[in-house]
Amino acid sequence: AGHGGSDAGASSGNVLEKDLNLMISRYMYEQFRNRGIPVTLIRDTDETISPSERTRRILAAYGNNPNVIVISNHINAASNQGAEGAEVIYALRNNDTLAKNILQSLENAGQKVRTYYQRRLPSNTSKDYYFIHRDTGSTEPVIVEYGFIDNPEDLSRIQNNYESYVDAVVDAVIKTKQGGVIAPSY
């Protein structure tokens, strides 16, 4: 669950990103457990966790292993009015398959989608911009931005459909790792 404690993340009125992230992550934890997939919540309360402690907990959970999927749940915010839809950001060391499948699955679940992409550190373009990508060893981390907290329609879709969106992400992870295909909906 991204953010937490003194780091509220983005907000809209009295809705805080950290709270939505925790709600989403707790539900995701249960869905992976229900499917028999080993899963660990790095943050399961409203606590402040430094980037170094967060990555330490990630690597301590299952080791520095390319078979470990790290899902960092977030809600986006934009400076331009009207931005909406999900995005998935993946690490430079990984291919785009998981990110693409998650985004397609979110679209199939009814969420508007934007794009999947990588982001480089401007001061050193050989490195990832986000610490969750840069500092998690050889794992496969993705940041899932479920939509925009500062877009009322997007926020409403997230609040009303987060369980469907989480189920879509969980299904995409399982199908990707089992070699399945996420078919686009038409």
Q: Per residue in 117-163, pLDDT tens? A: 999 999 999 999 999 999 999 999 999 999 999 999 999 999 999 99
R_g of the chain, CA atoms, integer Å: 15
Cα dihedral 55, 60, 62, 66 in deg (nearest 10): 40
Q: Is the pLDDT of residue 179 over 50?
A: yes
Q: CA 62, 66, 69, 74 torsion: positive or negative? A: positive
Q: Is the pLDDT of residue 81 over 90?
A: no
Q: Is the pLDDT of residue 90 over 50?
A: yes
Q: CA 156, 159, 163, 168 torsion: positive or negative? A: positive
Among residues 45, 157, 72, 37, the alpha carbon closest in space to that of 107 is found at 157
pLDDT > 90 fraction of the chain, expressed in percent and rounded: 92
pTM over 0.85: yes
Mean pLDDT of the chain, nearest integer: 94
Q: Which helix (H) or strand (E) holds 56?
A: helix 51-62
